[in-house]
Amino acid sequence: SAHAASSRLKVSGTCFLLQMLIIILFAAFVRYSPDASPGLCSPQLNCSSRKNPGSGSYYPRSRNVCLQTLMGFGFLMVFLGRSSVRSVAACLLVTAFAVQWALFIQGFIYSFRNGKIYMEAQSMVGADFCAAAVLVSVGAVLDWANPLQMLLLSLLEVPLFSANEYVLLHLMGVSDSGGSLTVHAFGAYFGLALSWFLRQHRADSGERPQDTGLPADALAAVGIACLWLFWPGFVSAAGAPAGAEPWAGLNTYVAMAAGTLATFVVSPLLREGSGPCTSQVQDATVAGAAAMGMAGEMLLAPFGALVAGFLAGLIPALSSRFLA
């Protein structure tokens, strides 16, 4: 139809304009940091305001965070059975733009020196964290927002996320290496506010699509596997103290395990059938792991992570029963 063709042209034109804008901004301001190897950054440049022990050591971390963002968070968005494939495509669109925009915005905040932004491996970690927060927000509107609205969401949320992160971590000194507060809480509340605002201006008020079939369940299972593989690295990637990094990863693993088991404890009591649906299992996995984003590096014994993960894992099943 004419309306569908017009919508496609709007999305195509917006993507083109945004990408051209990013290219121009990068050409004018962004350069690779001279301290990519130890000792190459001159004192005059002071090219990284974040005190890192060497950017090269961050490549494995940035890889894990990138995989977690694309595959873990991306496949979490397929709980909408009637539009699971479209959901994955929308998440890739949002991630592709949000990462580029975050590299530029966060570069101005953290590594703008002598008129240039100096990019390094840790810059990609921060950008992926920002993209993850945007994906959390997208989950609140994914089933009825169009791609153009999601791009505008990313355009607005990335600067707000970066400002919030800077205030919390650098001005207030909050310890949140895994993003429980800066990524998950911020993304959730931003998405809820956006959902409320857009619904006030929405002409139709149809039902939200639900998890209705195997394709969504199968893709969600892939997302769960990715969470287990990459989330422990996600928690420790943003700068957990050197001695606490193993604790952060191990606490995340045991919290995810306890959260998953909690779902199988409470879900059969609340719904008919043999067990919880895949979306509830993935939500419990996220809940247990997200709780470790702030606390993972602080817990010195695993039983605390087990208790926190189990309690967090109860929330998705209870909320789907009493709040949906």
pLDDT tens across 151-206, in order? 999 999 999 999 999 999 999 988 887 788 999 899 999 999 988 887 777 655 44
Model pLDDT, residue 55: 44
| Confidence grade of residue 298 (pLDDT, cut at 50, 70, 90) | confident
pLDDT tens across 165-179, in order? 999 999 998 888 778
Show me where the domains of the chain are located: 13-30+62-204, 245-323
321 class by beta-carbon count within 10 Å (0-12 exposed, 13-18 middle, 19+ buried): middle
* Rounded Cα distance, 230 and 307, in Å: 22
Q: What are phi and psi of 112, to 5 degrees?
A: -90, 110
Model pLDDT, residue 321: 79
Residue 149 CA to its chain's centroid (Å): 18
Most confident of 33-37, 101-105, 254-258, 320-324: 101-105
Model pLDDT, residue 146: 84
pLDDT tens across 230-251, in order? 777 777 665 555 555 677 788 8
320 class by beta-carbon count within 10 Å (0-12 exposed, 13-18 middle, 19+ buried): middle
CA gyration radius, the chain: 20
End-to-end alpha carbon distance in the chain = 34
Q: Which ranges of 139-277 does DSSP label H, i.e. alpha helix?
A: 147-165, 186-200, 214-236, 245-270
Question: Is 13-30+62-204 assigned to CATH 3.30.110.40?
Answer: no
| Confidence grade of residue 324 (pLDDT, cut at 50, 70, 90) | low
Neighbours of 16 (CB within 10 A): 10
Average model confidence (pLDDT) for the chain? 78
291 class by beta-carbon count within 10 Å (0-12 exposed, 13-18 middle, 19+ buried): buried
Alpha carbon dihedral 184, 187, 191, 197, in 10-degree steps, equals 140
Model pLDDT, residue 211: 45
Q: Say which residue, 130 or 279, is predicted with more confidence.
A: 130
